[in-house]
Amino acid sequence: MTSQISNRVFALMFSALLSVQSFMAQTSSMEALVGQSLSQLQNPTAESYVNCVAQLQRVEAMYPDSVLPTYQLALQSLVFVVQYPADEQAERMLHEAEQRIARLKERQDVDPSDLHTLQGFYYTDLIVRNPALGATFYRDALEHFDKALRLNPDNLLAKQLQAQFMANMPGNN
């Protein structure tokens, strides 16, 4: 009887180990695909951002429960908008970034500092696309960057975006 229990426990442990290895392989695969998508941005152009976002959308569809593809999609869409605010794709990318940020807000496994960084960046993009909205969204952007840095003072992206925001917004030069 003890032998049967030991065999079952061993079988369960082995099964669990295989599941963990499968999950880790899947995570590594997903991270590799995200990295592959981002590698297109070594020489960034509007076209390379559009292609990167399209590839990230495929990765997100393949790994719908993973945060990384959704986060990177929102981030790269926001980068595109700030880099190419007049491009015909900018409005669509801004809207899709807003939707992804909303989805990330609903998840429990998202770093709140990263989420506030994305939200601050989103408000920055709104201002860049329409400077007349600066008075409306200036405070929102700053509050989100500040909150991101209060939650994680080492959040490099939040530091960089906040510094860029402060350096480039009218009245701060």
Q: Are residues 101 and 148 in contact, defined by beta-carbon separation less than 8 angstroms?
A: no
pLDDT tens digits along 92-139: 999 999 999 999 999 999 999 999 999 999 999 999 999 888 888 999
Sign of the four-CA dihedral 28, 81, 161, 146: negative
Whether this prediction's pTM lies above 0.85 is answered by no
**Domain range annotation of the chain:** 33-95, 111-173
